[in-house]
Amino acid sequence: MIDNAFRAIVPRFAGPLLAIYTRLGWTPNHVSALGFGIALAASFAVAMGHEWVALTLWWVSRGADGTDGVFARATGQESDFGAYLDIVLDMAAYGAMVLGFAVAWPALQLEWMLMLFLYILCIASALALGMQEAKRALPARDDRGLRLGAGLAEGGETGIAYSIFLLFPAQLALTVPIWVAILAITIVVRSLLAYRTCKD
């Protein structure tokens, strides 16, 4: 829901990072892989009980994730495989963090399992709706390499939810079910939108 607003802002401030990527001789796929690697480190930090380290690493990883596409467009290195790699590593990063949470707070095992299950439905519904919109030549809402249908819970909201988990671990019994409910609502609303799109 908030991703497009961030996507409009990031290119204005990404110049120094893009210059570093270029100086290092990296490709956008290297940046995507870097973001995933740092997210894995964040997951490990969660599992070890280092919430502040995990929070810092998580947002550094999201910084890399938020600039790989900007880097690709700025340098003419956009590719279909890059778009594929980006979304796959994004979902792997989100899932890895849930595994870290599950190790750190095993009392909420059912909730973590349900969260992973809903992530599967979230990305499947987003990709399927995006495909149906593209099939009908409906205008895209962003410039991503893969078209994703709109939803209440997207990458930005996921990052905020994870930050809340890490900042307020004593409130997980409340915040985790709320996030699970938001994921479920996202799937229902997106499915209704898909029904309307396909019916039209």
Q: What is the tens place of the pLDDT at every residue in 8-18?
A: 777 787 889 99
Domain holding 11, by residue range, is: 3-199
Which residue reads 């690493």 in tokens? 57
Q: Quick one: pLDDT at residue 1? A: 63
The Cβ of residue 136 has, within 10 Å, a number of other Cβ atoms equal to: 10
Q: Is the pLDDT of residue 107 over 90?
A: yes
Would you give the DSSP letter of residue 137?
T
Task: Quote the CA–CA distance of 72 and 114 in Å, as a whole number.
Answer: 35
CATH number at residue 28: 1.20.120.1760
- The total number of structural domains in the chain stands at 1
Q: What is the pLDDT of residues 50-85, one digit of tens each?
A: 999 999 999 999 999 999 999 999 999 999 999 999
Strands (E), the chain: none
